[in-house]
Amino acid sequence: MSRLAALTGGTGFLGRHAAAALAAQGWRLRMLARRMPDLPELAATPIELIPGRLSDPHALARLVEDAEVVIHMAGLVKARGEAEFMAANAEGTRALARAWRGHAPDARFVLVSSMAAREPALSAYAASKRAGEAELTALAADAAADWRILRPAAIYGAHDAESLKVLKLADAPVQVMLNGAAARVAMIDVRDAAEAIAAFAAHPGDGATYELTDARADGYSWPELTAAAAAALGRAPRPLRLPAPLLRLIGAFGAAAQLLTGSAEMLTPGKAREILHADWSGDPALAPPAAIWRPRIALADGLRDMAAWARAEDRL
């Protein structure tokens, strides 16, 4: 019988690609979800569904039972406040890690975090991702535990509303740069990130943390990013820098909208601080071993593929 991978977040943007990559490598899939997901990429792949949430210890015990690897991708990227971020990204990780140590201690555990976790003071999101890593580290103190943490850089690709905003900005008469020319942003195509997750799922872990980027681990400047997005659409780049005070003001409006409507907004003061952070390049000390995984999709190719999808779906 093929190996069993237990997944959280398998229905999300990254999760659905990771599930497909795992299935292509012969893994059986078991997912925690509230309902059967609609995943065209996996239409021919049997998926065992465990109904439930990260707050349900019985569902988590069923999820991890007999699994060879537990891959935690579930979490929130936008929320109505710090408490909501912490409940999903920190407490959720603690609950799943407890289920792993209690019901499948010989399984491998792969936590998919975020590069934002290295700067927890910037935002509630970043703090919650760092807290989730700390929860896993505390519960995996046993030297025999098999685990690791993966921190993807900025993920882009088809089938994602947030990625699509990048192309919509590039499709405007000018391409908005959200930070100064000296700032660096590492990127990774969702397909490469998914392949990395599948690769690390098959290799023993030693508790290390790795950052996932494309081949440009040093990242891109904002002029490079805007030029690449414009080129993907066949446009000549016309970059326009958005002043930092204006971005902060937009973030403040997002926070006010949350208070007024009770809905979660993506662009908040914390997200503005993340965007304006000067260095989101990859740390060479946290580069994954090339023997396990290396990126294959260049930014220009990934954006071009995303643009083709957006046009085929009439999203632009």
2-36: pLDDT as tens digits? 799 999 999 899 999 999 999 999 999 999 998 76
3-state percent breakdown (helix, strand, coil) of the chain, nearest 5 = 45, 15, 40
pLDDT at 172: 85
- Dihedral sign for Cα atoms in the order 202, 204, 209, 211: negative
pLDDT the model gives residue 36: 66
pLDDT attached to residue 272: 94
Q: Is residue 309 part of a domain?
A: no
At 1, is the pLDDT very low, low, confident or very high (cuts 50, 70, 90)?
low
Residue 239 included in any domain: no
Q: What is the average pLDDT across 251-262? A: 85
Asked whether the predicted pLDDT for residue 271 surpasses 90, the reply is: yes
Q: Into how many domains does the chain fold?
A: 1
By CB neighbour count within 10 A (0-12 exposed, 13-18 middle, 19+ buried), where does 229 fall?
buried
59 pLDDT higher than 60? yes
- The whole-number pLDDT of residue 145 equals 92
- 3-class SS of residue 135: helix
| Helix pair 92-103, 57-64: axis angle to 10 deg | 50
Q: Mean pLDDT lowest for which of 28-42, 61-75, 93-107, 133-147?
A: 28-42
pLDDT at 76: 94
pLDDT, residue 234, reads 92
218-237 mean pLDDT = 93
Which tokens in the block code for residue 2? 């093929």
Query: Are 10 and 33 spatial neighbours (Cβ–Cβ below 8 Å)?
Result: yes
Residue 107 included in any domain: yes
- Using 50, 70 and 90 to split pLDDT, how confident is the model at 167? confident
Residue 199 domain boundaries: 4-160+186-217+281-297
Where residue 162 falls among pLDDT bands split at 50, 70, 90? confident
Query: Residue 37: is its pLDDT beyond 70?
Result: no
**Does the pLDDT of residue 189 top 90, yes or no?**
yes
Average pLDDT value for the chain: 93
On whether residue 21 sits in a domain, the answer given is yes
Segment 198-222, tens digit of pLDDT: 999 999 988 999 999 999 999 999 9
Stretch 81-102: mean pLDDT, rounded?
Answer: 97
127 located within any domain: yes
Does residue 119 register a pLDDT over 80? yes
- Please check whether residue 78 is in contact with residue 41, taking contact to mean a CB–CB distance below 8 angstroms: no
Which pLDDT value is given to residue 291?
96
Residue 28 belongs to a domain: yes
In a domain, 50, yes or no: yes
Q: Is residue 64 part of a domain?
A: yes
Residue 107: which pLDDT band, with cuts at 50, 70 and 90?
very high
Helix (H) or strand (E) holding 251: helix 244-261
Q: pLDDT > 90: what percent of the chain? A: 76
Q: Decide if pLDDT at 295 tops 60.
A: yes
Start-to-end CA distance of the chain, whole Å, equals 45
The pLDDT score that the predictor gives to residue 54 is 96
User: What one-letter code names the amino acid at 176?
Assistant: V
Residues contacting 122, CB < 8 A, separation 6+: 116, 270, 273, 274, 277
The answer, yes or no, to whether residue 66 has pLDDT greater than 70, is yes
CATH code of residue 291: 3.40.50.720
Reported pTM: 0.95
